Amino acid sequence: GFCGQNFSFPQLQAELGRMIGLGQHRDGARAGGQVSAGELEEARRVVFFDRMQRVLEAVGCAVRDDSTGALGLRKGWKQTDVESFLNRLLGLCIEEQRLLFDFFCSTMDKLIDNAKAEGSYDGGIQGVTGRTKVVSQRAIYRDPQSGAEAFHVKLAVDKGMTYEEAVEALAAAAQRDRDAGKPADTFAGFYVPRTKKGHCGSHHDWPILITPMPKQAAHEVKHYRLQRPWNATGDKLVADEVTKSHRPATSARDRADAEAAWRF
């Protein structure tokens, strides 16, 4: 019975009342019934998880232990049974699907970030991008019938882009706009950091290249590709994310500094 409901401030305050003893601090009465931002955030968290626990029970993803009341995976499920979990989400209303899937994705992203930071992340089979050079190659298996061999190949991979390639990428983006009959995207170009720090013991501050990405749908928010001297693949982001830390290299001095840093 939660479909389409939004938790309003009064509902959150009611939840707070339950959490802190009907508006009472451990240290005494709360003046004027005011709540702090931290307590309001905690109330949102409690309401969210309470709601999600109940909908997971409703579609059979989770079961409650009769003796302890603890919620856990239904019998026979493994923690890695993601496909079954996602299939069960289809039994929820759209709002609940969105809430649970967003929470699932953000949790997964955090776990991946932590694994990468700890050096334990296994990305599985991945495509090799960038310029490659064979460093060594040796046969590790030979099929006795066909004679086919399997090799272990060690590659040196350069995922960066030269300054000339960056200039070409910017020109290609402008050409795509002209071919589509659109005005040139004035946001595209080289950008330099707003704060000068100097990197690698030099006076250089790494510039970035911003080029527009094609829209997949008319209503889609416009995204840009951010590329750096050492990363030609780049990141996808919106304009506001760029201008927080960088400014356009509009002056001749900025452009010269950007080129020198890119070539460094």
Q: How far is CA 106 from the centre of its chain?
A: 8
SS3 114: helix
Quote the mean pLDDT of the chain.
Answer: 79
In this prediction, residue 35 carries a pLDDT of 65
Residue 14 scores a pLDDT above 80? no
**Is 50 exceeded by the pLDDT of residue 127?**
yes
pLDDT in tens, 43-93: 888 888 888 888 888 887 778 777 887 777 777 766 656 787 788 888 888
Q: How far apart are CA 87 and CA 214, in angstroms?
A: 32
What lies within 8 Å, CB to CB, of 29 at 6+ separation is 23
Q: Is the pLDDT of residue 37 over 50?
A: yes
Question: 197 phi and psi, to 5 degrees?
Answer: -125, -35
Rounded to whole angstroms, how far apart are CA atoms 230 and 264? 11
pLDDT for the residue numbered 218: 65
User: Could you give the angle at the alpha carbon of 129 between the alpha carbons of 124 and 131, nearest 5°?
Assistant: 140
Rounded CA separation 209/225 (Å)? 8
The most confident of the ranges 5-14, 105-114, 181-190, 216-225 is 181-190
Q: What is the mean pLDDT of residues 187-215?
A: 82
pLDDT tens digit sequence for 94-103: 888 888 888 8
Q: Tell if the pTM clears 0.85, that is, is over it.
A: no
